[in-house]
Amino acid sequence: MSGPFVSVYCIDTGAGSGRYNMEFDMRLMQSLSDGSFRREFGPGSCLWRFYSWMPAAVSLGRNQDPSEIDAGRCRADGVDIVVRPTGGRAVFHADELTYSFFAETAEPNEAIYRMVHEAIGRALERAGVVPDFCRTQPDFRKRYATAEAVTCFTASAKYELQVDGRKIVGSAQRRRGDVILQHGSMPLSARHRDIIRYVNAGEPGLIEAITGELERKTASLDEFTPAGYDELVRMIVGEAAGPGSAAMVLKPSDLSFLRPIEEPIPNLAP
């Protein structure tokens, strides 16, 4: 994993609300853009962040229409709705391990996408899971024009991780100059499929179509391994710096230099 990076850091920030989690990602990205991360940890450093969600949340891609999600039902169930800084489609975050990767690098987006997923794939193999890469790239412009594309997990991008052709890690990226953020979801159970409860029905048969796609095209880690959040984080940390290297684990106090972002991310279903 280390590749072009001199130092690899990891931090587990635990459970947080949808707005907290997305603002934390943006604060970290901002720290790379303004140079404060480099001053703190040196040039050529990258960071992995691990976290979960409490309460459960629906996150939308930053260009997604919020009306595709039933905000009233989310409020009734105590489910956050938050907008991600990255693209893609809606994800229901409940019982999952979420990761973020941050770096200042000229490496192409695709190279980072593959590099990050290779490290996660090695960790999953240690947990008894046998993932492989998706080898094709869908036409997302065409797919996003269809009603059933409201959810993220019904389609895999090139170099995303699958098991037996079913998506097990969903990731997205955002780049500002040389600064890149990549974050993604790893469902620990089938609860990610509960997103159908929060999709506005729209055209007849939409919910049934999405349900079928989620059942055919997605997987969760509990199908293949008893490893839970804590154990999986340890395994990814063990692989994050690559063979023969070790990542350095940070405490929250090590990130005390982070500043608030200028425009807080709204919670659409407080």
pLDDT, tens digit, 9 for 90 and up, residues 54-69: 999 999 998 898 999 9
pLDDT of residue 243: 78
Cα–Cα nearest to 25, from 211, 193, 182, 159: 182
CA 51/CA 96 separation, integer angstroms: 9
- Cα 109 to its chain centre, rounded Å, is 15
Q: Does residue 197 fall inside a structural domain? A: no
Q: Does residue 140 fall inside a structural domain? A: no
Q: Which of 1-10, 199-208, 226-235 has the highest mean pLDDT?
A: 226-235
pLDDT greater than 70 at residue 143: no
pLDDT of residue 141: 54
The CA-CA-CA angle for residues 225, 227, 232, to 5°, reads: 120
Q: Does residue 141 fall inside a structural domain? A: no
CA 151/CA 223 separation, integer angstroms: 21
* pLDDT tens column, 94-141: 999 999 999 999 999 999 999 999 999 999 999 999 999 876 554 445
- Where helices occur in 127-205 by DSSP H, the ranges are 140-144
pLDDT of residue 1: 46
CA 179/CA 70 separation, integer angstroms: 34
Q: Does residue 156 fall inside a structural domain? A: no
Say which range, 64-73, 79-88, 152-161, 209-218, has the weakest mean pLDDT: 152-161
Range of the domain at 28: 7-128+172-188+227-255
pLDDT of residue 139: 43
Confidence of residue 269 (pLDDT cuts 50, 70, 90): low
Mean pLDDT across 75-83:
96
Q: For residue 44, what is the domain's CATH number?
A: 3.30.930.10
Mean pLDDT across 176-193:
96
Q: Does residue 161 fall inside a structural domain? A: no
Percent of the chain with pLDDT over 90: 71
Amino acid at 127: A
Active site includes 74?
A: no
pLDDT of residue 59: 95
pLDDT of residue 47: 98
Domains held by the chain: number:
1
pLDDT greater than 80 at residue 178: yes
Say which range, 3-7, 95-99, 189-193, has the weakest mean pLDDT: 3-7
Mean pLDDT across 21-41:
97
pLDDT of residue 10: 98
26 in Cβ contact with 261 (< 8 Å) = yes
Out of 10, 74, 134, 152, the active site residue is: 152
Mean pLDDT across 79-96:
93
Instruction: Report CA Rg, the chain.
Output: 18
CA 14/CA 265 separation, integer angstroms: 19
Model confidence, pTM: 0.90
Q: Does residue 103 fall inside a structural domain? A: yes
Amino acid at 189: S
Average pLDDT over the chain, rounded to whole?
89
Q: Does residue 215 fall inside a structural domain? A: no
**Helix pair 109-126, 229-240: axis angle to 10 deg:** 120
Q: Does residue 139 fall inside a structural domain? A: no
pLDDT of residue 145: 43
* 245 DSSP 8-state letter: -
Say which range, 32-36, 42-46, 158-162, 259-263, has the weakest mean pLDDT: 158-162
Give the SS3 label for residue 252: helix
81 in Cβ contact with 200 (< 8 Å) = no
* pLDDT tens column, 206-227: 888 888 889 999 999 999 999 9
Cα–Cα nearest to 168, from 123, 119, 233, 217: 217
